[in-house]
Each structure stands twice: as structure tokens, then as C-alpha cells.
Amino acid sequence: MPVTDVTAALEALAARGLASRQAATGHWAAAPPAVALGAELAAHRERLQRAELAVAELVETYRTGSMGRAQRDLVEIVEGPEAVQQRYIQLQLAARSTVDAFATGEARAVGPKNTREATVLERSVRARVVIDQGFLGEPRAIDNVDQSLADGVRIRTVEEIPLKLIISDGEVAMLPLHGRGSEVDPSLVLRGGLANVAQALFDAVWARARPYGQAHHGIDLLDTHILRLLLAGLTDVAVAGQLDLSTRTVQRRVQALMVRAGATTRIQLGWYARHHGWA
């Protein structure tokens, strides 16, 4: 090869860190492959990653460009626990007349420590919540429910909630993207007709749910808690665990309530408790 071609090739390799020229002798030497080629591969990976990001941005631009503004406003995806928490609280605070919610299992984004429930109720907003056995089985669930009742929230119970949900004024709803039993991150925010569907679901569940009342006329507060949990579908063992009692104590107190109500079965006791303001 002509000297000029060889020199140009060596200088090109040197520019990429694949060869170097020794200052003392002027001789050329190849760079160690592990170092030189490793850096070369890293550079290729970086360029590939930039290309992938560019493609993703183009896809999103195409998607939003091909979708009308009205459609984009109907559905919003909220990602990240902090973003989900913030949007949930925004829906609470933005409510002018009503807040409806499903609560099940462990609190993921918003719990008793960071909810704005009390602030909303101070503005005479009507709040309704449906809870299920999964919610009542969580630690300190009874204390949290009692506090909500004291604040003015109307609460009902069912055996199982379809999914976590909050609806503000019947106009905006938020629920987990992947449905029941999933994490709340990511979540869907629905507006318009889609929010109406969510409201219809809530109203249907609310209509068949059992009231979880405040009154405890004629019996003490502990017996009221026991009856409420039993009417919500919890077992004696679960009730005992929730109220920090022994199972035997729960059964003994239920038996005493049955005697007092003149009931021979727990079904009769439940009927009596509902009609005499015991639970």
C-alpha cells in the first residue's frame, strides 16, 4: 500500500483510540482490545439508545397528532407513585359537590396520613365510600373508618370491591390502569362519558352495599364494632384480630348480644341490630 494510504489508515485508527504512535521510535502499536473495543461498543450503544429515544418520541408525536384534542382530553395516564398521589388529592380538593370512592386492601398512594378528606368535608361536599373485607382486614382499619364516620363520610360495605376508584363531581374519575388487585401506578384519569360509566358502576355497588352506620344506641362501642365487622362479612377470627381481642371474647360478646336481642341465630341478630340502631 502507498505510504500515504497506510498513514491515513493508522491516523484514523488512532482517532478512534484503536492504535497509538510511540513518541520515542515513531512506531505504531495496536491499543489493548479490551479497552479500545469496549469504548467503541459503549459509543455504539449510546448512539443506539439515542436512536431508540428518537423513535419513541416520533411514535408519541404521531399518536397525539393523529388523535383529536377531544379524545386526548377524555383519557389521561398518570405514572409514578408521587404523580398518582398528587392527582388523587387534586381530585379531592377540586370537588364542588360530591366525592365517591371505592377502598380495598392496603392504601397505595393516598392513606389516612395524607388524605384531604377532612378539608373537603368542611366545604359541605358529600362524600361516599364503599369498603370491602380486604380494607377492613388492614391494620388500624377500624380507627380510620371511625374517623371518617366522625368527619361525615357515608360508608357502606360489600364483600369485594371491583377496583380502587375515586370520582369527583361525577365528572372526573381515576382508577388503576390494570384493574382490580393491581398497583395504582399507573392510573387512568377519565372524563366525559367514560367518567359517567365509572359513576354508574359506583352507584350500582353503593345501592347493594350494606350501611356501616354511626349509631350504637343501647350497647357499648366495642359491641358496635363487633357487629359492624360481622355484618361486613368478617369471621370471628378476623374480628378478634382487628379489635385486638381473643376469638373467645368475640364469641362470648356475640352470644350475650343474641340473648339481649332475643335472637337464636346470628342472622336474627343482624336483623335486630339493623332495626334498632346497634350497628
14-61 pLDDT per residue, tens: 888 888 888 788 888 888 877 777 777 877 788 888 887 788 777 767
User: Is the pLDDT score of 107 beyond 90?
Assistant: no
Q: What is the pLDDT of residue 68?
A: 59
User: Are 174 and 165 a contacting pair, CB within 8 Å?
Assistant: yes
Chain mean pLDDT for the chain: 83
Q: What is the pLDDT of residue 216?
A: 53
For residue 185, give the C-alpha cell: 401506578
Fold of 221-275: Arc Repressor Mutant, subunit A (1.10.10)
- Name the band, by pLDDT with cuts 50, 70 and 90, for residue 205: very high
At 162 the three-state DSSP class reads coil
User: Is the pLDDT score of 99 beyond 90?
Assistant: yes
Query: What does the domain layout of the chain look like in residue ranges?
Result: 3-64, 73-211, 221-275
Q: What is the pLDDT of residue 215?
A: 54
**Contacts with 152 (C-beta within 8 Å, 6 or more apart), sequence order:** 121, 127
User: Are 99 and 127 a contacting pair, CB within 8 Å?
Assistant: yes
Its pTM stands at 0.59
Q: What is the pLDDT of residue 198?
A: 94
User: Is the pLDDT score of 70 beyond 60?
Assistant: no
Q: Quick one: which H or E segment has residue 34?
A: helix 33-66
User: Is the pLDDT score of 214 beyond 70?
Assistant: no
* Mean pLDDT confidence for 253-270: 88
User: Is the pLDDT score of 132 beyond 60?
Assistant: yes
| Dihedral pair phi/psi, residue 62, rounded to 5° | -65, -45
- Name the band, by pLDDT with cuts 50, 70 and 90, for residue 178: confident
Q: Hunting for cell 346470628 — which residue is that?
A: 266
User: Is the pLDDT score of 131 beyond 80?
Assistant: yes
Q: What is the pLDDT of residue 63?
A: 62
Q: What is the pLDDT of residue 71?
A: 60
Least reliable range by pLDDT among 4-13, 83-92, 142-151, 246-255 = 142-151
Q: How far apart are CA 190 and CA 224, in angstroms?
A: 38
User: Are 178 and 184 a contacting pair, CB within 8 Å?
Assistant: no
Fold of 73-211: Endonuclease; Chain A (3.30.870)
User: Is the pLDDT score of 213 beyond 60?
Assistant: yes
Q: How far apart are CA 41 and CA 46, in angstroms?
A: 9
User: Are 205 and 130 a contacting pair, CB within 8 Å?
Assistant: yes
Q: What is the pLDDT of residue 174?
A: 93
Q: Hunting for cell 380507627 — which residue is that?
A: 143
